[in-house]
Amino acid sequence: MSQRLLILLLAALFSTGGAGAQTKAQPRATTARGALDAEELNNIGVFKRVSPSVVHITTLSVQRDFFSLRTSEQPSGTGTGFIWDDAGHVVTNFHVIQGGDRATVTLNDQSSFPAKLVGAYPDRDIAVLRIEAPHEKLPAIAVGASRDLQVGQKVYAIGNPFGLDQTLTTGIVSALNREIESVTRRTIKGAIQTDAAINPGNSGGPLLDSAGRLIGVNTAIYSPSGASAGIGFAIPVDEVNRIVPRLIRDGRFIRPALGVTAGPENLAKALGAPKGVLLVNVADASPAAAAGLKPFGRDRSGRIVQGDVITSVDGQAVADLDDMLSLLETRQIGEKVTLTVWRAGQTRKVVATLGSSD
């Protein structure tokens, strides 16, 4: 028997089920399951309650054709945000809208609205937009607290990773008080680290606790590939809740200031000064000048004239200018602060009334 004939006979045998009987193929019966467990029910409940407050943000940039000089709008980026109040304020990351000429906000029901920039604070990577939408479409997110978070707490992230809107991921608080860098290269202190999957497009979205309350704004991931590697960071909500009202009220964040300029860290080492804010300039008529602070300088012969180093603010140590600016941001213009000041080996305390950074 030839090989070709054998193959044909085998094919015919298998196609008829071996005995000419037709193979029976019916849908499988489904297996009943019990009730969802408590964790699953909470996951579902949190998503149903909070997802209507989460929005998709698309930024557009105007591009001009080199030859025709015609302009067109092209998508330049996407991200996530959340509804802050029923006045239409939407909070997101500054880097989500950075470089865009226009932004569009898409709500949970897929309706879209043009957004206007209300204010931004790049040092903390926070921006506030505003849309004109019916109040019933603007359920404000519930705001929690970050000061009492504990490592191990359950967290949720809702966002639009890779443009896939309304995506829920879960995880835990992996660590607290991390430091990350903002777009201005200022340090954002107190960041929340989480292993909830955060990918490009999640930026600006809410990090939630198990009660569905906002505890942070997802802002960065640590990943060599650019995708989630189980290390994400969020700006703590206590910081957000301090900055956003000022942006809504003033359109910008005006930092309380002392009116000083600090020298570099290596200068402090060279001069044998302690860690702190070494003053190289004190502005005339500034809060620092009124408090009697003096900068380092040189006399006519070129010798160093001892100045002041601010080592703490209201009893909290400051290792450098960034530390001091972060502390001053938590105060109000016109508020009095007690400074611990070092000069020529002597330490003293002075009281200064904070002015405006403008």
Cα separation, 97 vs 203, whole angstroms: 11
Catalytic residue among 53, 76, 89, 95: 95
DSSP state string for 111-159 = -EEEEEEEEEEGGGTEEEEEE---GGG-PPPPB--STT--TT-EEEEEE
3-state helix, strand, coil in the chain (%, to 5): 20, 40, 40
Which residue is associated with the tokens 């995708």?
A: 227
CA angle 182, 150, 218 (to 5 degrees): 30
- For the question of residue 95 being annotated catalytic, the response is yes
Q: Phi and psi for 105 in degrees, rounded to 5? A: -110, 125
- For the question of residue 123 being annotated catalytic, the response is no
- Residue 107, CB-side half-sphere exposure with 13 Å CA sphere: 23
Catalytic residue among 125, 209, 308, 323: 125
Cα separation, 25 vs 349, whole angstroms: 87
In the chain, how many H helices and how many E strands?
A: 7, 22
Nearest to 93 by CA among 129, 61, 49: 129
Catalytic residue among 203, 228, 312, 326: 203
Cα separation, 23 vs 29, whole angstroms: 18
Other CB atoms within 10 A of residue 141 CB: 22
- For the question of residue 203 being annotated catalytic, the response is yes
Beta bridge partners of 280: none
Q: Phi and psi for 213 in degrees, rounded to 5? A: -95, 145
Buried b (16+ CB within 10 A) or exposed e, 11-43: eeeeeeeeeeeeeeeeeeeeeeeeeeeeeeebb
Q: Phi and psi for 170 in degrees, rounded to 5? A: -125, 160
Beta bridge partners of 154: 172
Cα separation, 138 vs 119, whole angstroms: 19
By annotation, the residues acting in catalysis are 95, 125, 203
